[in-house]
Amino acid sequence: MDAFFVSVEEVLDPSLKGKPVVVGGIDDPTTHKENDAIVSQAKKLLVRAKKPLSVSTLTRGVVAAASYAARKYGIHSAMPISRAKRLCPHAIFLRSSYRLYSEYSYKVFKILRGYSPLVEPVSIDEAFVDLTGCGKLHGPVLKTAETIRNEIKDRLGLNASIGIATNKLMAKIASAYCKPNGMLWVAPGSERRFLAPLPIKRIPGVGPKGVAHLNRIGVQTAGDLACLSLELLEEVYGKWGASLYHKARGINSNPVIAETEDPRSINRETTLNTDSIDPLLLESTLSYLIEKSAAQLRISKLFARTITLKLRYSDFKTVTRSQTFSSPTAADYKLFKAAKKLFRNTFNRKIRVRLIGVSLTSLTAHPYHQENLFDPKDGKRWDELYHGIDRIRKKYGFTSILRAASSDKIRDK
C-alpha cells in the first residue's frame, strides 16, 4: 500500500490530498484513547503521590507515515516527530489511529484472499500473494494484478503498488520500484538484468551500514555486487555475504506462507509524554500494558510462554529483556510479576525512559497448566476471576476495572 496511514486519513478527509501530511506522534500500536488512558492512570497515580506531571500535547514519538508531498522535504518513516517539524513546519501532523488503520488493513487483506488462499502478511500494509495455479479462475497474472489494484482503489479509495515476479525477493523490489500507484512485472529470466543498475540500497536487508561497507570495497550497484564471487563475499561477510550473492542475482526460494488464524505475538508499547526516570510512573504504565496484552490473550484463547520487556531511553538506545515461563499463562499477575522483575533488573536510573513496551510470544492454545499441589482449586479461581473481569470490561469498557498497580502503584507491594 502507498503511504498507507496517510492514505487512510485522506480517504476520511479528501482536503489532505496533495499536501505534506505526517502521521505519527506515538510510535506504538496503541490507539489515541488507549494512550490517553495510560497517561490518565499515571497522572492519577502521581497526583496521589503529590508529584507533578506535565502532560503536554503529544508531539513526541516517530513518524509512522508521510505523504509523498512531505517526503520531498526529507521526511521519512521512523524519523523523530521533532525533526520532521523542523524540516517542514507547515506540514499537517496527525496522530496515529492504529485501530482505524487496522480496519482498513483487514479490508485490504480480505480482498487479497479473494484471489488466492496463499496470502502472507509482511506488515499491516504489505503482503505477498501467490497466484500460482489461479490462472483458470482469474485469468493471466498481469490482468489479475491489475484487477486487484483496481478493486482496492474502487472499494476503499486507496492506492496500491504491485510488483510481479517469480519469487518474493523480486516482487518486493519491483513493488518498491514502481511506487506510487504503479505495477511492474519482472519477466522470468530477466531478474539479474533488471537488478544490475539499481543502487545496492534497493536490495532488501542492505541498510545504511551495509551500504557504507559495500561502498568501501567499490560496490555501488547490484550489478557491481553480482560481479563478486561467492567465496569472496563469504570470506568477508560470512552468511550475510552468501545472502548478498544470491540477492544480487535475484535468487530466492522462500515460499509464500499463509498467515495462521492465531497471532504469532501480542505487542503493546507506548511513548511517554515526557521522558521519565520515575520508577513509580514507569511500573504503573507497564502494569497497564500488561493488562491490555493479557486481555487480548484471553480474547484469542491463547497463552504466552515468553514475555519480553522493551525500554527505549531518551538517547534512543533500546534494550530488551525476556523471560520464559515453565508453563504458558494468560494471568495478569504472573505476567506483571515477570515484567516487573525484568524492569527492575534493566532500568537505568541515570537515563530517562522515552518508551516502554511488552511483547508476549511463543503463544499456544494449550496452557499445560499444572495445578497447585496444596490447593488444586487455585488455578480455577484465577481463571474465574479473569473471566469475570473480562465480562465487566466488555460491558463497561476496559478501564472500568484495573489492577491496583495500574492506577495506584503505591499500594502495590
Residues classed as catalytic: 126
Given a contact cutoff of 8 angstroms between Cβ atoms, the answer to whether 287 and 405 are in contact is yes
Residues 6+ apart with CB under 8 A from 305: 324, 325, 327, 328, 361, 362, 363, 364
Sheet strands (E) in 136-291: 162-164, 183-185, 266-276
**Of residues 219, 218, 189, 190, the one with CA closest to residue 203:** 219
Three cell numbers at 295?
486481555
SS3 171: helix
Dist CA 271 CA 355 (whole Å): 4
Amino acid at 349: R
DSSP-derived pairing of the beta strands 21-24 and 92-95: parallel
Q: What is the CA radius of gyration of the chain?
A: 24
SS3 142: helix
Dist CA 309 CA 194 (whole Å): 43
DSSP state of 88: -
- Strands of the 353-364 sheet, one edge to the other: 266-276, 353-364, 303-313, 318-329
- Beta-carbon-side half-sphere exposure of residue 71 (alpha carbons within 13 Å): 14
Given a contact cutoff of 8 angstroms between Cβ atoms, the answer to whether 307 and 322 are in contact is yes
Residues 6+ apart with CB under 8 A from 136: none
DSSP state of 201: G
Given a contact cutoff of 8 angstroms between Cβ atoms, the answer to whether 276 and 352 are in contact is yes
* Torsions phi, psi for 209 (to 5 deg): -65, -40
Sheet strands (E) in 240-296: 266-276
- Beta-carbon-side half-sphere exposure of residue 338 (alpha carbons within 13 Å): 24
Q: Facing residues of 72 across strands?
A: none
Dist CA 221 CA 195 (whole Å): 8
**Of residues 406, 385, 329, the one with CA closest to residue 360:** 329
